[in-house]
Structure 1
Amino acid sequence: MSNEILPPLEDLLATTRVVSLPLNTRFRGVETREALLFEGPHGWAEFSPFVEYDDTEAAAWLDAAIDFAWRPQPSARRTAIPVNATVPAVPADRVGEVLARFDGCRTAKVKVAERGQLLADDVARVRAVREAMGAEGRIRLDANGAWNLDEAEHAVHALAEFDLEYLEQPCGSIDELIELRRRIRYLGIPIAADESVRKAEDPVAVVTAGAADLVVVKVQPLGGVRRALRVVAKAGVPAVVSSALDTSVGLGMGVALAAALPELSYDCGLGTASLLAVDVTADPLVAGSGEVPVRRVTPDRELLVEHAADHERSTWWRDRLRRCHAVLAARVSRPAAPR
């Protein structure tokens, strides 16, 4: 547990609100994003691990939320964060519609390797992004580890003509990433690790093994801003701060991380509020002139009511909160290992 404070469960439940927010476009196989929010002494925080994650993995997300709500955060080094547009696995003819939601963004992260689609669909989508953004736009691809080694190599050759900034998690395993990096080194396309960082017992093992050129870091799955900062420092490679399709409250947690990093060489994936059809605030953290401001977000009470999840889903999330709190409590009570 990275958080030094574990408030009583009753304190979390006292302000807990569960929301269900429709998306503008289907993303990660869902059309509605659910999230649990609560308020602590330092403001609101978000707990929103994806529903398929078990309690052990989800507990890190709760640790991050508690840290953000109960502790002051590291000092900000900047007042605004440059962000990328995020293009889901939409048909090529919808690319313009998606990009229009990301005001001033000159970088686009394009989802590829969607289940049920073909490489030809990816090529058409990326081509449409390049045509829309022009030669000066930056394009990065995210496969979420869905390709095997040979599929990834084939896809890279089919997509390299679009002048790619980097490939995010093209394969699932570190061994595959090492070999793919060796095979495509001559193309000069860096490989970024996401799942190999946030879902790993050792978040920097993928870099130590020589499998990645940069890391994608997300506050919730890494257990909070401070732990994410330590991961970046230990990795010793450039970092991209991204989100997990959060509400603006959760995006504020990612923004705090991006603001605290000593160096920020890449546009961050913190503009994803534009993928939501509604949010929990009338002043969401959406891109303006290609960046989002550094600030905490307080949800609007009326929007929390308007977008409240139904009783069944709210109960499900509160029960999940209880279980994950128990996981954290067990870690706190566990005696330290002898040195």
Structure 2
Amino acid sequence: MFSLPPLDEVLAGAHVVSLPMRVKFRGVQAREVMVFKGPAGWGEFGPFLEYDDDESAKWLASALEAGWLGQPARVRDWVPVNATVPAVAPAQVPAVLAAFDAVHTVKIKVAEAGQSLSEDAARVGAVRHLLPEAKIRVDANGGWDVEQAVSALRMLSVFGLEYAEQPVASIAELAAVRVALRGTVLIAADESVRKATDPLAVARAGAADLLVVKAAPLGGVRRALEIVAEAGLPAVVSSALDSSVGISAGLALAAALPELPYACGLGTVSLMAADIADPSLVAVAGGMEVREVVADPGLLAQCAAPADRREWWLQRLRRCYALL
């Protein structure tokens, strides 16, 4: 970990914004994040509201790395990006996909609380109907048990799945699903990496075919690169419903990985109705050029969160800084 900047310096440049969503995503209709500018660039501190301080401190470490240390050298200047379809009705799928440019890969949310497998199948089927040549991956966010996951993935495999992301919650369950499917559907670990006390446990257990890595929850781009190298598994870089500032950290991670065999989940700004950068960091022609992102003062003011929410985030920042 690099030397932390003074807390007063971080607080002085902090902005808290609320970004409305075009469609509900992960139960969120407006995304709150904090951003600040350091000598090396802009950083984003955006752990979800329910995350505790211990988990959130890693997100702060990532933001401070971006703002005060800068990102590591890159090995590529362009990164392929997938489209993302939330747990919407099939009739909404065309409108969601229309927000993305030159779609070649789609991640589809499944196993949403209160929804059925038939609804999942209808959503995946709607994507396949619209994009017969696209690669399709599904993300359950740990919403199934082993039996449900095996049954669901066998059914959904008829649409041709690139992989299934976090179909079950625990590492032991991931391993069981992977054994049961016998390679017919590849298994990707997300929460079992970024929310685990030991992010390498999933690799040691042989519980996944690939890892989904996110810079902020893992403590920054450099720490994420170390985890991928130590795990020895292919990696997909994804985001955590970030603004363009947060997406730029994920883009820096994707640009620095020695190998990048999969399209990255960095296109979620397209799901937002507002952003704090102009131009926004969104995919064009199916990917993103690696570039610096600067928050726009006018957009920061336009999207500013109410005073009570700003104070809530400032207090959270103070607590998480103390843990670093």
Q: TM-score, normalised by structure 2?
A: 0.99
1:147 aligns to 2:147 (yes or no):
no
C-alpha separation in 2, matches of 1:72 and 1:275: 27
Letter in 1 for 2:289: P
What's 1:262 paired with?
A: 258
Deviations 1:73-108 (A, max 9, x none): 211111111000000000001111111111012000
Match in the other structure for 1:129? 127
> Following TM superposition, by how much is the alpha carbon of 1:155 offset from its aligned partner in structure 2, in angstroms?
0.6
Correspondence 1:42-191 to 2 at 5 A: 42-134=40-132, 136-185=133-182, 187=184, 189-191=185-187
Distance 2:210 2:187 in 1: 7
Amino acid at match of 2:11: L
Cα shift readout 1:133-178 (whole Å, capped 9, x = no counterpart): 11x2100000000100111011112211000000000000111111
- By how many angstroms is 1:256 displaced? 0.4
* Equivalenced residues, count: 324
Structure 1 gap ranges (5+) = 329-339
Q: Is the aligned partner of 1:318 residue 2:314?
A: yes
8 Å CA contact retained: 2:218, 2:224: yes
| Partner residue, 1:252 | 248
Contact 1:217/1:240 (<8 A) preserved: yes
Q: Distance in 2 between matches of 1:73 and 1:92?
A: 39
Q: Which 4+ stretches in 1 moved above 3 angstroms?
A: none
| 1:310 Cα deviation after fit | 0.3
CA RMSD across the alignment: 0.7
Instruction: Report the residue type matching 2:319 in the other structure.
Output: R
Corresponding residue of 1:206 = 202
Aligned counterparts of 1:143 and 1:299: Cα–Cα separation in 2? 32
1:184 positional shift:
0.5
Tell me the CA shift for residue 250 of structure 1.
Answer: 0.3
Which amino acid in structure 2 is aligned with residue 125 of structure 1? R
Checking the alignment, whether the CA contact within 8 Å between 1:5 and 1:67 is kept in structure 2 is no
- The farther-off stretch of 119-128 and 96-105 is 96-105
Alignment counterpart, residue 220 of structure 1, candidates 189, 197, 216: 216
Q: In the alignment, is the contact (CA less than 8 A) between 2:41 and 2:70 conserved in 1?
A: no
SS in 1 for 2:103: coil
CA distance in 2, matches of 1:5, 1:297: 23
How many Å separate the matches in 2 of 1:177 and 1:186?
Answer: 13
Report if aligned partners of 2:2, 2:69 keep a CA contact under 8 Å in 1: no
The farther-off stretch of 67-76 and 189-198 is 67-76
Contact persistence 1:46–1:65 (CA under 8 A): yes
Structure 1 length normalisation: TM-score?
0.95
**C-alpha separation in 1, matches of 2:272 and 2:314:** 23
Please, which runs of 5 or more residues in structure 2 have no aligned partner? none
Tell me how far 1:72 sits from its aligned partner.
3.0
